[in-house]
A and B are shown apart, each in its own frame.
Chain A
Amino acid sequence: MNLNYFRSRSFILSILIIIATVIISYAINSPYFTLTILIADIFIIMSIGWDFSSGTTNYINFGISFFFGIGALFTGFFFYSFNLSIPFLIIQAFFFGFISGFLITIATLRVRGVFFTLLSLLLPLIGTDFILAFWTVLKMPTIGYYGLPSLSNSLQVSLIYISLFLIIIIILIYTLYSTHIGLILRGIGDDEEAMLAQGINTFWYKVLIFSISMGIVGIAGSLYALSTTFAGIDTFGLEFLLFPMVIAIFGGKGKILGAVPAGYVIIILSQYLQLYVGQFTLILFAAFAIILFLLFPNGISRWFK
């Protein structure tokens, strides 16, 4: 394991930024701002999960909202059906995200490039319909589960929990990234054919990494459900595909920690745009995203190393 990763400026800065957002939200004491930071943390977890697999390997996965939805919906299901406690609800979200990630990637990772991207989009769409049909047959609420337990009665305490989760996930991913598996991931992104020809069968590494990543996205879905106390079918929506990818790309694709500052910038911006311009948010956000990508074509990670 290469411990230099943990001494890097980007790692230390990321942790400091997360802590700073908690302190600022306490200082400002605005529920809307606290909720914004909390949502940003959840999207950053998603982005990091996505970037860890897709960003580093260049296998662009358009299916993450499916795994987010799985995490959220199963949190509702397991709470109402088995009355699981919050820690177990989060663990099951990782488990089901991992398993569904495993099943889907084992089928899709045999193809590359645009074919993989297309399959990654299609299979979760089919999966979403399947889950909805399954839910209906079982006479379960397809609209969603209301009244889920909250991480805490206080929004600010919930923010501390979620920030801690984010820090733990960053440490776990960095630990994995600093091992030989991390090297293999970067190698896949660089030149997978050369790796195959020179002795490394990449397939099972990819399946493992994508499964872990989708498990992490599942956790984000569960944390979202536990923060909003609602888990609905809307969690499978486009918004939960678009934002994490924009954050990851603005942060610097494959750079993982660039998602931390990028996530706060993008979510704070979009939340406050929503507050002031309402229905024009998406248009303004898209315009802003285009400007950002023109100004920072390689993301902001260059300034964040």
Chain B
Amino acid sequence: MNILKVIEVSKYWGGNRALENITFSMNCNILGIFGPNGAGKTTLLNIIAGIYSPTKGEIYYREKNITKLKPWIRVQLGISKTFQVVRPFRTMTVEENILLFSKIRDNSNVDEIIKITGLEDFRYRFPDQLPFGHLKKLEIAKVLATNPEILLLDEPFGGLNNEEIKDLLELFVKLRKNGKRLVIIEHRISSLLEIAEDVLFLDRGKKVFEGPVKKFLENEDIKEYYFGGNNNA
């Protein structure tokens, strides 16, 4: 059974095409969605999360058609999304930010989430007192508090240094071990290829490639066109 299936999804903003006939299914634990700027990655993620509705097409989660469901109902079903630009609740401490979402599906273990995301030392601090890397972790911690089955992560490495990226990659591996499935949009392909199992490559709203990482790296067309002939992703 495909856990997530996207069937012929298109999205138009007025006359502008953001996505056209995107079809793919998720069978792995970590799916990386790549593509240049304007490829439609964030639009696709927002459609899966229910923030945008598609102009055409359908989305299935565990064989259930969720195309018309509101975002908060999708979260209750088990699909949660982070924001590309972090949006912590600034009047709340780190603990309260996580507590806020902890009652949506079962009762999440806030202590465990704080521990796994490495936010122990910042538990009672406010977001304005956190380094940027920890704000990114807080964004993920908020989503984990909803106890999701699928996490939709929108450019989680954006603005982070190599050390912070390494930290997040370790966190993602831990989450995979804990049974979470991750859909990650990222510009920095090299970082994500370390952990992704499957890849979906978009360009100007169209699907260019879908398949395992190994095949992606061997695909001569992609190498030639996007990476200038070298495998220097």
Contact = CB atoms under 8 A, between A and B. Distances in A.
B49 to A, nearest CB: 7
A187 B89 contact: yes
B81 A184 contact: no
Interface in B69-121: 70-73, 75-76, 80-81, 83, 87, 89-92, 96, 99-101, 103-104
Of the four ranges (under 10, 10 to 19, 20 to 34, 35 or more), the interface on chain B belongs to 20 to 34
B91 A198 contact: no
B51 interface: yes
From B72, B73, B75, B96, name the one whose CB has the most chain A CB atoms within 10 angstroms. Answer: B72
Contact of B101 (A186, A189, A198): A198
B100 A184 contact: yes
Given A183-B92, A190-B90, A200 B100 contact: yes
Nearest to B71: A197
A237 to B, nearest CB: 34
Interface string A196-232: 1111110000000000000000000000000000000
A184 B51 CA distance: 20
A191 B89 contact: yes
Contact of B72 (A180, A189, A196): A196
A157 interface: no
Contacts of A194: 83, 87, 89
Interface in B10-52: 49, 51
A157 B99 CA distance: 44
Contacts of B89: 186-187, 190-191, 194
B142 interface: yes
Contact of B146 (A180, A187, A198): A198
B142 A198 contact: yes
Contacts of B99: 180, 183
A122 B83 CA distance: 37
Contacts, number: 56
Contacts of A189: 91
B7 to A, nearest CB: 23
Given A183-B96, A184-B100, A199 B91 contact: no
Contacts of A184: 100
A184 B101 CA distance: 9
B72 A199 contact: yes
Contacts of B76: 199
Contacts of A196: 70-72
A194 B83 CA distance: 9
B87 A199 contact: no
A32 to B, nearest CB: 40
Interface string A152-192: 00000000000000000000000000001001101101110
A194 B101 CA distance: 11
A190 B96 CA distance: 13
Interface in B190-220: none
A83 B131 CA distance: 64
Contacts of B146: 198-199
A194 B96 CA distance: 15
Contacts of B70: 196, 201
A189 B91 CA distance: 9
Given A183-B99, A184-B100, A198 B92 contact: no
Given A197-B51, A198-B71, 15 more contacts: A183-B96, A183-B99, A184-B100, A190-B89, A190-B92, A191-B87, A191-B89, A195-B100, A196-B70, A198-B80, A198-B142, A198-B146, A199-B101, A200-B72, A200-B100
Q: 7 tightest CB-CB pairs across the interface, nearest first?
A: A199-B75, A190-B89, A194-B87, A201-B72, A199-B104, A183-B100, A199-B146
21 contacts: A180-B103, A183-B100, A186-B91, A187-B89, A190-B89, A190-B90, A194-B83, A197-B49, A197-B71, A197-B83, A198-B75, A198-B143, A198-B146, A199-B72, A199-B75, A200-B100, A200-B101, A200-B104, A201-B70, A201-B72, A201-B73
